[in-house]
Amino acid sequence: MDLERLFVDLDGVRWADADHAYGEADDLPGMLRALTGDEEQASEALDELWSSILHQGTVYAATAEAVPFLARLAAAGVRTGDLLVLLGGIAESRDEYGLPRPGACRSAVADQLPLILPLFDSPDPEVRRAAVRAAGCTGAAPALPALRARRAAEEEPAVLAELLAALVLLDPVEGAAAATAALSPELPAEVRIVAVLGCLDLGLPWSAVHRETTVSLLPAGPLVAARFDEERDEPLHYAVDALLLRDTDEDRTAAYELIEAALRLPGAEARGEALWAAEHACMISRGAPLRLAPALLALLADPSFTDPVPMLPVLGRLGGHAAPAAPALAALAELDGESADRALEVLVRIAPDQAGPLLARDLDGRPRTMRAVTGFPGIRPALPIPYTPELLNAIRIRLTGIAGADDTTTGDARELASLLLSWGRQASAALPELTAVFERLPAPLAPALAAICPAEGRERTAGLLRRAAAAGESGPEGRCAAAQALRTLTGETAPLVSALKDALTEESAPELSRAAGELGPEGDVLIPRLWAALTPPGTRRTVPDMDADIETALALWRLTGDAAEPVRVLGGVLAEAADREWTRRTLSAAARAATLIGPAAAALAPALEALLDDHEQVPAALLALCALGHETDRARAADLLLTSVERETDWTTALEALAALGPEALTEKVTARLTAIAERDLRVVVSGVGAEPAAADESLRRRVRELLATAG
């Protein structure tokens, strides 16, 4: 092997000027040379290259620089198949970062076709497949003659499938004819499933032939398992997604009929693919739960369907349409193990009144359900579960166990307290058990202690909270939590002022400043501590520092009524955060703070206007500009805000800002877009955990309809 020829110009590349996923790419020459080493060195280098130049599908400036050397190595027989797969992934990527021009990496691979195309004739079918994939992903027409020649000679089904996929990419007209012809039952299954996918990609009308072909090939996952195309590695799911995204009545019906036909198949693997496709349909289509519920419930009742566990995720997405499944879910939830826990979580969603007694039977053995009903602040909303005596009694028993344990589990206690808090004084019978644990865990339990306390226990509970608020062993968090709960219970503020005074001396945290700002005149004594908590001028702030400074600035404004210094602090945060990564939430928080201050924060308008170039910051920035009284181009603002909603970008703030623009901003064009958002079949909110996105999407629809009602 002539390594000198392979690596000519390698050291002439200015690698330090080209970045990859981890920064400067001056380590790439070593990785490339290591590919020619022993098996261990080469495997490690290949892993590092994937991670560095095609990190999670993203390509970089250094990626384009590395492509010629990868192609030379592949052509010379150095890990040919592996490097061709890497080159195909690079050519396929549309996720680009820091490139000199769009498509630079794809062009770099296309430039290497003279080295890639001869590998179409390799005796190794895996090399042929990888070479065809890499050439097809370039989209470069010069690859067509070699592709056609290989198709005429190829006999291996897997390679034929890859050739068809590449033809669809390189020549849509010829590809459409070839894909349609390849639906024939006489051709290998691997080719036929790729033909279905190709027809979808080309936007061809869906027909009964496409449906029958797809259903006949299920389970289709094994047919594409060896392909390099990870986007289409679940053909049924992909087909349903593609049809629904066409967003026409005809294609929606086609997607539902495809799922229903797949659900009727007898095999567990085929049904599994159908259930996953049905779940995805319910995730993105507002009409899917109603349409698919009968077929799914029929399958659940089918005697041949002996394992309902794979159906649990999609049942959770059906909402009220899954109510008839409650008896089956309850029967499964009565069993032991993870499957019973998952069934109970779904039962909470569709029949919460039946879930409480079942959860009470085994609190410790239902961690998934407990996480669902207690939620997690800012990440996962809690699913409400009605009060039942059985569940309250189970919580009391569990609290007694925690009180007697040597090691107290904060997470368990927090979840139990969350349930009690949601019930309020209905849960007052648990006050003795909660009190027994409180002294060990004041921070997570204090709010629940105040919430469930009955009138006759108020004096004793208040005393307990006062002691915890004053005790140093409670720690700053515990003292403040106890003092805040005491204020809720009795209206006393002095213990909270004292706890915050000491806590602010020890640390600066957003929640401390927020609590101080909410005290009103009683918090005036904390003003010096808040001033001291601000990051000193000239100090480079971390993201937590900036978050704390935002809340501290707001607290100072609330307590003093003077906006000058708080506005200066917010301006500094906006300037620093704009030049950093991972500060999206911080920028939005600063904009929301400016919204609260209002016209007195007018000096922040230029910094807020600069945020309008970042679609993620548009909602908070425009809401703030409206609050500042800043003159805004309403047409442009409305367009930006509607785009934010359509992209699921902080839609609650975007709609609030759109309302703040006033009725005159709700033009005919704007109301037409709002109407489409509210009434279309495709959901706007699709990201999140479990069934929560569907609930959020319904909230969005209600809010949009309310806004439309003001348009007159």
Cis peptide before 219 (omega within 30 of 0): yes
Please give the helix or strand (H or E) that residue 23 lies within, else none: strand 23-24
Q: What is the C-alpha to C-alpha distance for residues 694 and 683, in angstroms, rounded to an integer?
A: 8
- CA-based diameter of the chain, in Å? 90
pTM for the model: 0.89
For 411-439, what is the mean pLDDT? Answer: 92
Q: Which residues of 399-424 are buried (b: 16+ CB within 10 A; e: fewer)?
A: beebbeeeeeeeebbbbbbbbbbbbe
Q: Assign 408 a pLDDT band (cuts: 50, 70, 90).
A: low
What pLDDT is recorded for position 695? 87
Cα–Cα nearest to 593, from 554, 630, 650: 554
Q: What is the C-alpha to C-alpha distance for residues 126 and 74, in angstroms, rounded to an integer?
A: 13
What are the pLDDT digits (tens) for 521-541? Answer: 999 999 999 999 999 988 889
Which residue would you say has higher pLDDT here, 668 or 229?
Answer: 668
Cα–Cα nearest to 223, from 273, 168, 151, 171: 273
- Res 670 pLDDT > 90: yes
- Residue 101, classed as helix, strand or coil, is coil
Q: What is the C-alpha to C-alpha distance for residues 440 and 535, in angstroms, rounded to an integer?
A: 33
What pLDDT is recorded for position 231? 86
Q: Give the percent of the chain with pLDDT over 90.
A: 84
- Among 227-231, 531-535, 653-657, name the one with the lowest average pLDDT: 227-231
What pLDDT is recorded for position 229? 84
At 305, the amino acid letter reads F
Residue with tokens 């709960």: 485
Cα–Cα nearest to 28, from 37, 43, 44, 16: 16
Q: Assign 2 a pLDDT band (cuts: 50, 70, 90).
A: low
- Residue 314, classed as helix, strand or coil, is helix
- Residue/partner pairs of 127-130 with CB below 8 Å, 24 or more apart: 127/80, 127/81, 127/84, 128/154, 128/156, 128/159, 128/162, 129/158, 129/159, 129/162, 129/226, 129/227, 129/228, 130/80, 130/81, 130/84, 130/85, 130/88, 130/228
Cα angle for residues 57, 62, 67 (degrees, 5° grid): 80
Please give the helix or strand (H or E) that residue 58 lies within, else none: strand 58-60
Strand partners, 380: 376
Which residue would you say has higher pLDDT here, 514 or 407?
Answer: 514
Which residue would you say has higher pLDDT here, 411 or 694?
Answer: 694
Q: Assign 376 a pLDDT band (cuts: 50, 70, 90).
A: confident
What pLDDT is recorded for position 265? 96
Residue 710 burial class via C-beta count within 10 angstroms: exposed 0-12, middle 13-18, buried 19 and up: exposed
Cα angle for residues 597, 600, 605 (degrees, 5° grid): 90
For 601-619, what is the mean pLDDT? Answer: 95
Residue with tokens 């590809």: 175
What are the pLDDT digits (tens) for 11-37? Answer: 889 998 899 999 999 999 999 999 999
For 373-397, what is the mean pLDDT? Answer: 88
Residue with tokens 């109510």: 323
Q: Helices in 112-171 by DSSP H: which ranges?
A: 113-116, 125-138, 144-153, 157-170
Q: Give the percent of the chain with pLDDT over 70.
A: 97
For 240-255, what is the mean pLDDT? Answer: 98
Q: What is the C-alpha to C-alpha distance for residues 514 and 568, in angstroms, rounded to an integer?
A: 18
Q: Sort strands 19-20 and 23-24 into parallel, antiparallel or unpaired.
A: antiparallel
How far are the Cα atoms of 271, 280, 508, 650, 683 from residue 285, in angstroms, in the given order?
20, 8, 45, 20, 6
- Among 266-275, 376-385, 690-699, name the one with the lowest average pLDDT: 376-385
- Res 406 pLDDT > 90: no
What pLDDT is recorded for position 379? 67
What pLDDT is recorded for position 656? 97
DSSP state of 535: P
What pLDDT is recorded for position 689? 62
> What mean pLDDT value characterizes the chain?
93
- Res 3 pLDDT > 80: no
Please give the helix or strand (H or E) that residue 24 lies within, else none: strand 23-24
What are the pLDDT digits (tens) for 476-511? Answer: 889 999 999 999 999 999 999 999 999 998 877 899
Residues near 316 by Cβ (< 8 Å), separated by ≥ 6? 322, 345, 346, 349, 350, 690, 691
Q: Assign 7 a pLDDT band (cuts: 50, 70, 90).
A: confident
Q: Is 360:388 a contact under the CB 8 Å cutoff? A: yes
Q: Assign 8 a pLDDT band (cuts: 50, 70, 90).
A: confident
Please state the separation of Cα 176 from the chain's center in Å.
35
Q: Assign 4 a pLDDT band (cuts: 50, 70, 90).
A: confident
What are the pLDDT digits (tens) for 273-290? Answer: 999 999 999 999 999 999
- Res 690 pLDDT > 70: no
Is the sign of the CA dihedral 275, 279, 281, 287 positive or negative?
positive
What are the pLDDT digits (tens) for 145-195? Answer: 999 999 999 999 999 999 999 999 999 999 999 999 999 999 999 999 999
For 128-143, what is the mean pLDDT? Answer: 96
- Residue 129, classed as helix, strand or coil, is helix
For 593-615, what is the mean pLDDT? Answer: 96
Residue with tokens 């607290």: 555
For 47-53, what is the mean pLDDT? Answer: 95
Q: What is the C-alpha to C-alpha distance for residues 370 and 390, in angstroms, rounded to an integer?
A: 15
Number of Cβ within a 10 Å radius of residue 499: 27
